[in-house]
Structure 1
Amino acid sequence: MRRLATLLAGLLVLTACGGGDPTPQAAPPPTASTAAETAEFNDTDVMFLHMAVPHHRAGLEIVRLAEERDIRPDVKTLASAIKVTQLSEVDSMTQWLADWGQPESAGDTPELHAGHGGDHSTSPEAIAELAATPAADFETAFLNLLIGHQHNAVEIAKLEREGGANPQAKELANRIFESRTAQIAQLLGYLG
């Protein structure tokens, strides 16, 4: 499965390098790591992963809604690319937490988010509202929710870039920052 995800992401990256039409952008999937590569970490690295894993999973819920809807092919292609990338990123992040002997989640109380600018997640209610959106309004609602969601990913990545110690986590944060910033511009263009 990981090989297929890597192949699909590679194909998307290659197609983005060609032609004049803007092609959906997705970050290349992170490479698998071992415990030896990720031995150095600090509280910011753990917090970043504790925030990013559920955020990515919420993003996966959002983009999966686009699979079954009648939307423009380029929007659907971007949603598929996001799905492949985020599945791979979740795999890496949960493996790093396991390698570090850290739980996959820190829980979900408001106090946990007070020290880093609040909760950056997309609420289950917002995702449920999108799921219930009529067909005629779905694409616009999808684009708007995904723009906000990817903006929050950029904010989470900034925290890691500024205070993390683990090289792989910081590299992932840089990729998230760059790719989600590009996706936001692309999504805004789709709203046009």
Structure 2
Amino acid sequence: MRRLTGFRALAALVVGALALTGCGAAAPGTAPPPVSTVVETNEFNATDVMFLQMAVPHHRSGLEIVRLAKDREVRAEVKTLAAAIEVTQLSEVDSMTKWLADWGKPEVAGDDPQLHAGHGGDHSTSPDAIAELAATGPAEFEKAFLNLLIGHQHNAVEIAKLEKEGGINPQAKDLATRIFDSRTAQISQMLGYIG
């Protein structure tokens, strides 16, 4: 068996990660994933904007979390899940920041702690929690990583619910549905790793 190196190894990792997280090509004998039929528009409301302004920093803190697993001793399936989350969330951030720019809106709403009071509060993972995870020793890291990421992805589900219930922009609502479904599946997968 030939050893994969460089780009081919990365491509194999991403394909495997996408398969594990329910993204990408369908497994043999199953239906392919649906092609998006969302018609893109620039119509949006305050909920669409708030969803994106909450999700962009949330995704970026999620990227900080999953990148901590790259150089740590964790099970292969945990490392693969973290890599898949990174690829997905980078792509989602690109889409969200583009939409906000197209709408003439800033990437973040501001620093007022009361700003998200009407949306169930601030759903972000604190920098202190991420720093604490980064300082966790090897023996405890995987469990601490999974617990923090489960909580983080639960908050993503809560943010997505807001958009699903009150947004009007079709592409933002479609993204919210994909976030809701994928993060719910990831939570279940990670609970299985802990259990």
With structure 2 as the length reference, what TM-score do the two structures score?
0.83
Aligned match for 2:187, one of 175, 184, 187: 184
Q: How does 1:2-41 map to 2 (within 5 A)?
A: 12-13=17-18, 16=19, 23=20, 25=21, 27=23, 37-41=40-44
Partner of 1:152: 155
Task: Quickly say closer, same or farther: Cα 1:8–1:88, change in 2 above 3 A.
Answer: farther
Task: Please tell me whether the aligned partners of residues 74 and 142 of structure 2 are also in contact (alpha carbons under 8 angstroms).
Answer: yes
Partner of 1:132: 135
Shift of 1:108: 2.1
* Residues 1:104 and 2:107 aligned together: yes
Partner of 2:5: none
More helix by share: 1
* Residues 1:116 and 2:119 aligned together: yes
Aligned residues: 173
Structure 1 residues not aligned, in runs of 5+ = 17-22
Partner of 2:171: 168
Q: Tell which structure's C-alpha radius of gyration is larger.
A: 2
Distance in 2 of aligned mates of 1:147 and 1:191: 10
Q: Deviations over 1:130-167 (max 9, x none)?
A: 00000100000000000000000000000000000000
Aligned match for 1:63, one of 62, 66, 75: 66
Distance in 1 of aligned mates of 2:152 and 2:81: 14
Aligned-CA RMSD value: 2.1
Task: Quickly say closer, same or farther: Cα 1:69–1:54, change in 2 above 3 A.
Answer: same
Shift of 1:119: 0.5
Structure 2 residues not aligned, in runs of 5+ = 1-9, 25-34
Shift of 1:183: 0.2
Shift of 1:12: 3.6
Q: Which runs of 4+ in 1 moved over 6 A?
A: 5-8
With structure 1 as the length reference, what TM-score do the two structures score?
0.85
